[in-house]
Amino acid sequence: MAALNTVKIFSGSYSTYLADLIAKDYGRPLGGYTCRTFSDGEISPIFEESVRGCDVFIIQSTPPPMDNLLELLLMVDAARRASAHYVTVVLPYFGYARQDRKDKPRVAIAAKLVANLLSASGADRLMTIDLHAGQIQGFFDFPVDHLEGTSVFVPYLKSLNLDNLLIASPDVGGAARARNFAKFLNADMVICDKYRKRANEIASMQVIGEVEGANVVLFDDLIDTGGTMCKAAEIILKKGAKSVRAICTHPVMSGNAYENIENSLLEELIVTDTLPLHRESEKIKVLSVAPLFAKAIGRIRDHESISSLFINNQ
């Protein structure tokens, strides 16, 4: 019989690659779990060991298709019905986070709906990293531990010893995020102002600020098709920059993203492993967030603050 408040870590089908690393860094193997799929596509998650009285951590990113989110919800429900003491959802990538407001009439706020679903499933806590908008934390009525990718990116960027470093936001909406990142590197910042006619298609872009002679690093929370980053790199280099790199926490990498990056003027694209890459690329550098999540799980277990994991407190 499991001891009271024993920590058990489980992974949904999508995030096993990252969950294995998190469990290894934490010092405990992943719990036994299978997800049956019926002939009609219906899924049925099953925990293969007792979770009664345990603090359960369920790791699963939720990019499309919706099966990833549904599996996570069913796992939380199964853990709750199996008398788990406390259920924490570890969401490395929060799918649908970009739909966080009504930007036009008659549209859904998908991020809020996902938050409601997680609450209804019985989750007690959420742990995630670099949400598309920090305000999404307010969609939840239970604690949210919002980790920051800066603690992974800043040491790597410092190791490159780039002179005349300049941080760039690929759009006006990400200016606050880029400014915060620039602060840790004692660097200045510029902004790329873009206009879209439709999703994933840029009509025009201009750079606000001086980039001549600088080593520029574009900073954003995710990269999807890569169109914005590639266009920004092209414009910045035309304005006299020495080099352009891009840093994005979540490598969504849909459509022609790999071709766009490989054919771009970017020196490299630096991402984390919150989402798996579908193929390798010489231009893509992957930094793992597994140690960060493992430390956060340990602090939650011990009822300690996780603020010490933020780079401004290190």
Q: Report the pLDDT value the prediction gives residue 51, as an integer from 0 to 100.
A: 97
Q: Report the pLDDT value the prediction gives residue 199, as an integer from 0 to 100.
A: 64
The CATH 3.40.50.2020 domain(s) of the chain lie at 7-147, 150-287
Residues of the chain with pLDDT under 50: 1-4
Closest CA to 207 of 218, 197, 220: 218
- Per DSSP, the residues of 21-50 read HHHHHHTSPPPPEEEEE-TTS-EEEEESS-
Q: Report the pLDDT value the prediction gives residue 46, as an integer from 0 to 100.
A: 97
CATH-assigned architecture of domain 150-287 = 3-Layer(aba) Sandwich (3.40)
pTM of the model: 0.93
For residues 23 and 8, what is the distance between their CA atoms, to the nearest angstrom?
A: 9
- Token pair for residue 288? 């793992």
- Report, as residue numbers or ranges, the catalytic residues: 194
CATH-assigned architecture of domain 7-147 = 3-Layer(aba) Sandwich (3.40)
* Burial bucket for residue 180 (CB in 10 Å: 0-12, 13-18, 19+): middle
- Token pair for residue 291? 């140690």
Q: Report the pLDDT value the prediction gives residue 312, as an integer from 0 to 100.
A: 64
